Structure 1
Amino acid sequence: MNDPHGPGGGANGDPHDRDPERIPSQAELDAEDLAELERSSRDHDQASLYPPRPADPGRPPVALVLHARVVWWAAAVIGSILAVYGFFNLSTITDDLRLRLLEGVVSDPANSAPEDQIDTLAGFFPPFMLVMIVVVLVIEYLLLVAAATHHSRHCRNFFLAAVVVHLLCIPVGVDLLFRYPDITSTMVVLSYVQFALLVIAALFTLRRSVNTWLPESTRMKPTRMLRGR
C-alpha cells in the first residue's frame, strides 16, 4: 500500500510534493514572474497614491509661521474693527439698506426684491454678514496655524480657498454694509486695506520655501485607483 505522504501519493496532489526535485515548467515560471510584477506594480501605485511623510520635516519656514501670520493678524484686526463698528451701527445700516431696496423697487421693479420681502432682507443680511466676517477669520486662522503645526499642504490649500472666498465677499460686504452717506467712508477704505493684506498673507504661504517644506501633494489618480481594484 502506498504511503499517502510518500513520494508517490501526496495528500494534496501538488506536483512539487510528489517530486521535490522536479524542474518547474516555463509556463509556471512565467506565471510566477507575472504575479511578482503585479505585486510590484500594486505596491508602486499604492506608494504613489500615498507617499510617505518625512519623519522630521524640519522647522517651518519663516514665511509661513511669521510673515504670513503677521500680515494676516493685521487683516484680522481690521476685520474685527469692521465687525464691531457694524454691530454698533446695525440699526443705521439696516435702515439704509431698506431704503436702497425700496428705491430699487421704484427705479427697477423687474430686477429688485419683492416689496413684501424688503424688511426681511434688510433685517437679515447686515447681521449675518457681520457675523460671517468673524467666522471666516476664525477658519482662516485655524487653517493657517494647522498648516505649520501639522505640516499639512491640505491645510495650506484650504486656507487659500478660505481667503479667496473672503476676498470675493469683501466688495459685496462693502456695498451692503458701509457704502452709505451716513456711514463713515473710513470703513470702505479699511475694507480694501484688509483685502490687500489678505492677498499678501496668501502670497506668503505660496513662497517657494513653503512649497518645498510642505509634503508632496497626494492628489487622487482615478486610473491608478481603478487598476488597484
Structure 2
Amino acid sequence: MTERGDGGFDLGDGQRPDPDIPSQAELDAEDMAELAKRSSADRDQTGLYPVRRGDPGPAPIPLVKHAVGCFWAAAVAGAICMVYGFLNLGTIKDLLYTRLLDGVRDDPGNAAPEDQISGISSTFPPVMLVLIAVFLAVEYLLLVNTAKHNSRGVRNVYLSVVVVHMMCIPIGIDLLFAYDGLSVVIVVLGWAQLVLLALSALCTLRKEVNDWLPAPNKVRPGTGFGRR
C-alpha cells in the first residue's frame, strides 16, 4: 500500500480504496470547517451576551443622589396627597358621585350607567389613594436596586413604572382633588409629584449613569422568536 499525492492510498496491484471512505485530506478539511463554525458561534454568543465587568466602581452621583432626591421629594408630595385624600374621603366620594350624576344628565351616551355610579364613587377614590403608595414603594425598590446591583434592566423597569405612574397622576388629580370644595394646594402638589418623578427618571438617563451601567445585550438578525 502506497500513499498518493492527494492524501489517499493505493492498495497495490492496481487496487483503489473504497470511494466511500474519505481521504485524510477530506477529513482534515472537515475538521477545519467545524472549528471555523464553532469559532463563529462563540463570537456571536459573546456579542449577544457580553462578559460582565468585575467591579463597575461606585454608583454615579446622578443616580444615587439626584435621582433619589427627586424621588423622595415626589414621594413626600404623593404622601401628602394620599393623607389628605383619606382625611377627606367622604367628601371626595360625595363630590365624585355628584360629578358622575351630572354626567349622566348632561351626556348619558358617554356617562357611566346610573345604577353603577354609587359603586364607582365609593370604590374608585380609596383604590386610587392606595395606588399612590403602591407606585411609590415599587419605584423606590427599583431605584435602589438599580444602584445596588448595577442593573440596566432594573433601571429600565423603573422608567416604565414611572411613566405609568405619571400617566395616572392627571387622572387622579381630576377625579379626586379638582373640586372647589377642596384645597388647591393638593392639586399643585399632585402636579409637583409628576414633575419630580419625571426629573428622577431623567437623572437615571444621564450619560454618567449609562456609562456606569453594563452594556445592553445586542440583538442580531435571526435571533428573535421567529428563528427556526
Q: Please report the TM-score for the alignment, with normalisation by the length of structure 2.
A: 0.86
| Preserved contact between residue 45 and residue 228 of structure 1 (Cα < 8 Å) | no
Residue in structure 2 matched with residue 146 of structure 1 by the alignment:
145
Residue in structure 2 matched with residue 111 of structure 1 by the alignment:
110
Within 5 A, what are the aligned runs for 1:216-227? 216-218=215-217, 220-221=219-220, 223-224=222-223
Structure 1 stretches lacking a partner, 5+ long: 1-22
- Alpha-carbon distance in 2 for matches of 1:226, 1:35: 26
- Alpha-carbon distance in 2 for matches of 1:112, 1:85: 28
| Preserved contact between residue 45 and residue 224 of structure 1 (Cα < 8 Å) | no
Residue in structure 2 matched with residue 169 of structure 1 by the alignment:
168
For residues 161-214 of structure 1, what are the alpha-carbon distances to aligned partners after superposition, in whole Å with 9 as ceiling and x for unaligned? 111111111110100100011111111111111111111111111100000000
Structure 2 stretches lacking a partner, 5+ long: 1-22
Q: Which runs of 4+ in 1 moved over 3 A?
A: 219-222, 224-229
* 1:161 alignment partner AA: S
Supply the RMSD in Å over aligned alpha carbons: 1.9
Q: Which has the higher helix share?
A: 1
- Alpha-carbon distance in 1 for matches of 2:92, 2:225: 55
Verify: 1:206 aligned to 2:214, yes or no.
no
Deviation at 1:70, TM superposition (A): 0.8
Aligned residue for 2:156, secondary structure, equals helix
Within 5 A, what are the aligned runs for 1:26-175? 27-175=26-174
> For residues 213 and 174 of structure 1, do their structure 2 counterparts lie closer, same or farther at Cα, with a shift above 3 Å needed?
same
Aligned residue for 1:78, secondary structure, equals helix
- Alpha-carbon distance in 1 for matches of 2:213, 2:166: 25
For residues 5-28 of structure 1, what are the alpha-carbon distances to aligned partners after superposition, in whole Å with 9 as ceiling and x for unaligned? xxxxxxxxxxxxxxxxxx821x22
Same amino acid, percent of matched pairs: 50
* 1:96 alignment partner AA: L
* 1:128 alignment partner AA: V
Aligned residue for 2:24, secondary structure, equals coil
- Alpha-carbon distance in 1 for matches of 2:29, 2:227: 22
| Preserved contact between residue 59 and residue 212 of structure 2 (Cα < 8 Å) | yes
* 2:119 alignment partner AA: T
Residue in structure 1 matched with residue 193 of structure 2 by the alignment:
194
Aligned residue for 1:109, secondary structure, equals coil
- Alpha-carbon distance in 1 for matches of 2:226, 2:44: 9
Aligned residue for 2:80, secondary structure, equals helix
Q: Please report the TM-score for the alignment, with normalisation by the length of structure 1.
A: 0.86
- What is the count of residue pairs matched by the alignment? 207
| Preserved contact between residue 74 and residue 196 of structure 2 (Cα < 8 Å) | yes
| Preserved contact between residue 47 and residue 218 of structure 2 (Cα < 8 Å) | no
